[in-house]
Amino acid sequence: MEHATNRDDSGYPVFVESFDSDSRYRRVRLRGVGCEPLEKEEFAPRVRQIFPGIDLDDPDQVHWADRPGQWPTWHPGEA
């Protein structure tokens, strides 16, 4: 089975992959760019850099594999 991060054919401009509680990042596929690990604070600025007019609340533009809008808990100083 092919791992989702190797694909860029979701049909969505932005596809946020499954929640991983062991990381402070979520892998985000940006159509035409590839897949990037992004922290909560990086998500909106990066997405808007690639897609300036995107509506982050539109599920046809931004698809979450699970837990929409949620990010793993991480505290400064953790690896």
Long-range contacts of 45-54 (CB under 8 A, 24+ apart): 47/14, 51/13, 51/14, 54/13, 54/14
Kindly give the pairing relationship between strand 14-16 and strand 26-30. antiparallel
d(CA 46, CA 32): 14
Residue 2 has pLDDT above 60, yes or no: no
Per-residue pLDDT tens over the stretch 3-46: 344 444 568 999 999 988 778 899 999 999 999 999 999 999 99
* Residue 35 confidence (pLDDT): 96
Per-residue pLDDT tens over the stretch 49-70: 999 999 999 999 999 999 999 9
d(CA 56, CA 2): 27
